Amino acid sequence: MQNIQEKKVWSVNGFVMVFINLIMIVAGWRLIAAGVRTEAVGTWIAVVLLSLLYFFSLQGYFLVHPNEAKVCVFLGKYIGSARTNGFFWTNPFAVRKKVSLRIHNFNSETIKVNDARGNPIEIAAVVVWHVLDSSKALFNVQGYENFVAIQSETAIRTLASHYPYDSHDAGQNSLRANPEEISSLLRTQVQERLEVAGVHVDEAR
C-alpha cells in the first residue's frame, strides 16, 4: 500500500482570483471591441482563448469551513489538502473532496462475548475520535467512518475476552472493578487499529 502523508495544497486567496477574473472580463470586452473595428482574425482567436481561460478558472474556487478539510486530487494523484478556513482558488482541474475534522462519537451496539473465564457477558463502548490526517482517512481505507466502527467493535471483543467480568484474585484487573484501566487499554488498542486511517482516538470507555 502506498504511504500517503497529508500535505498542504497549493492555493491562493479566492478574492485575488476574483480581481484577476474581473480584469480578464474587461480585457475580453476590449478585445471584442477591437475585433469589431479591425476584423482581425488574431484578435478573435485571442478572445476565444481568453474566454476559455476565464470559464475554466471559475472551477478553481472553493470554500473551507471550520473543522473541515478539502482533499485535492489531480489526474488520480493526491496533490494536497486545504485545512485553513476561508475562500480559496486552486487548480481548476483538481477534484476536491470534503473530510470532516470534527469530533465524532461512535456508540457501539451491545455485543455478546465470553470473558476470560468463558462466562457470557454483554458489553458496549463509546469511542470519541476525530480525523488527524485527511489524506489517510480518504485514501488508506474504504469509508473511514465505517472502518472506525468495525475496528472499534473488534477491539472491544478482543479486550473483553482477555479479562474476567469479575475477579476475586488480588492484582488481577476485571471489567467491572477496573473501568479506568480497561478504558485506557481499550483506547490504546483502538488507536493502534485506526492509525492507518489517520484517526486519533480522544477517548474510549
- Determine the pLDDT at residue 170: 65
Nearest CA-CA partner of 92 in 120, 66, 55, 124: 55
Summarised one tens digit per residue, pLDDT across range 111-168 is 898 888 888 889 999 999 999 999 999 999 999 999 999 999 999 998 888 888 887 7
Summarised one tens digit per residue, pLDDT across range 77-116 is 999 999 999 999 999 999 999 999 999 999 988 989 888 8
**Cell triple for 100:** 470532516
- The domain spans of the chain are 12-100, 104-204
**Cα torsion angle, 70, 71, 72, 76, sign:** negative
- Determine the pLDDT at residue 41: 74
- Determine the pLDDT at residue 57: 92
Q: Is CATH 3.30.479.30 the classification given to domain 104-204?
A: yes
Phi/psi at 63 (5° precision)? -110, 145
Q: What is the CA radius of gyration of the chain?
A: 27
- Determine the pLDDT at residue 1: 65
Confidence of residue 13 (pLDDT cuts 50, 70, 90): very high
Q: What is the pTM of this model?
A: 0.85
- Determine the pLDDT at residue 178: 81
17 and 61 Cβ atoms separated by less than 8 Å: yes
Summarised one tens digit per residue, pLDDT across range 49-83 is 888 998 999 999 999 999 999 999 999 999 999 99
157-169 burial, b for 16+ CB within 10 Å, e for fewer?
eebbeebbbebee
161 and 115 Cβ atoms separated by less than 8 Å: yes
- Kindly list the strands in the beta sheet with 126-131, ordered across the sheet, starting from the edge strand earlier in the chain: 104-107, 126-131, 199-204
- Determine the pLDDT at residue 114: 86
**Cell triple for 97:** 473532496
32 and 47 Cβ atoms separated by less than 8 Å: yes
150 and 193 Cβ atoms separated by less than 8 Å: no
5 and 81 Cβ atoms separated by less than 8 Å: no
**Cell triple for 90:** 486552486
Q: 35-39, 42-46, 147-151: which range is least confident on average?
A: 35-39
